[in-house]
A and B are shown apart, each in its own frame.
Chain A
Amino acid sequence: EDKVVQSPLSLVVHEGDTVTLNCSYEVTNFRSLLWYKQEKKAPTFLFMLTSSGIEKKSGRLSSILDKKELFSILNITATQTGDSAVYLCAGASYAGNNRKLIWGLGTSLAVNP
């Protein structure tokens, strides 16, 4: 059965700290891995990763995929209180026309001032 496991489930840090969020996956017909940030409302897209070893970067956020070991990490440097959110990881499974995302439970990040 397909699954995506995120760790830790929750994390509390101080502003300025660097955090690493983990995501491991077992997804049949895996094609890509996606990271989303969810604050109070619906998730907003962060990254999509398809190739191993190629870092995607956006400001203080970066992410990388290891398709051999079946995991991805999301790094946030110099955290700010605005980074407080739930970070969701999802694996994209391609099986004909039935493409859907397999979601992890998320990592709840709280950044304290």
Chain B
Amino acid sequence: GAVVSQHPSWVICKSGTSVKIECRSLDFQATTMFWYRQFPKQSLMLMATSNEGSKATYEQGVEKDKFLINHASLTLSTLTVTSAHPEDSSFYICSARDRSWAGTSKGDTQYFGPGTRLTVL
């Protein structure tokens, strides 16, 4: 149980193009999903919190117009990197919390997707 998928697993794109990454909770509903970025040998950096049916909450320093997040349903959130540049190359990981545990401490657990390796040329 608690499986999260991410697509694509890796993508290479040209500078200036936009890339969309999908995050799906496969066997549970997720009112909240998180988007992280991770550089080599560094820890997870939270970019934004995505709530179903409302605007995402971005962390300080993350450009919301550059990293567009849409959480259209209880099982799907998307991250679009707009006008990508080489410095956007990174490992992007999403996670989701199980809606059925909302309000409990077990609801703190985040289940991660396998990540998307983005390379911008």
Contacts and interface: CB of A to CB of B under 8 A. Distances in A.
A103 interface: yes
Contacts of B95: 42
A48 B115 contact: no
A16 to B, nearest CB: 27
Nearest to A108: B41
Given A88-B44, A103-B44, A104-B43, A42 B105 contact: no
B49 interface: yes
A31 B105 CA distance: 7
Most central of A42, A101, A103 by chain B CB within 10 Å: A42
A106 B105 CA distance: 22
Interface of A: 31-32, 34, 36, 41-45, 48, 50, 88, 92, 94, 97-101, 103-106, 108
B109 interface: yes
Interface of B: 2, 6, 32, 34, 41-44, 46, 49, 51, 57, 93, 95, 97, 105-115
A99 B49 CA distance: 9
Contacts of B41: 108
Contacts of A50: 105
Nearest to B107: A99
A42 B93 contact: yes
Contact of B115 (A32, A42, A105): A42
A76 to B, nearest CB: 20
Contacts of B34: 100
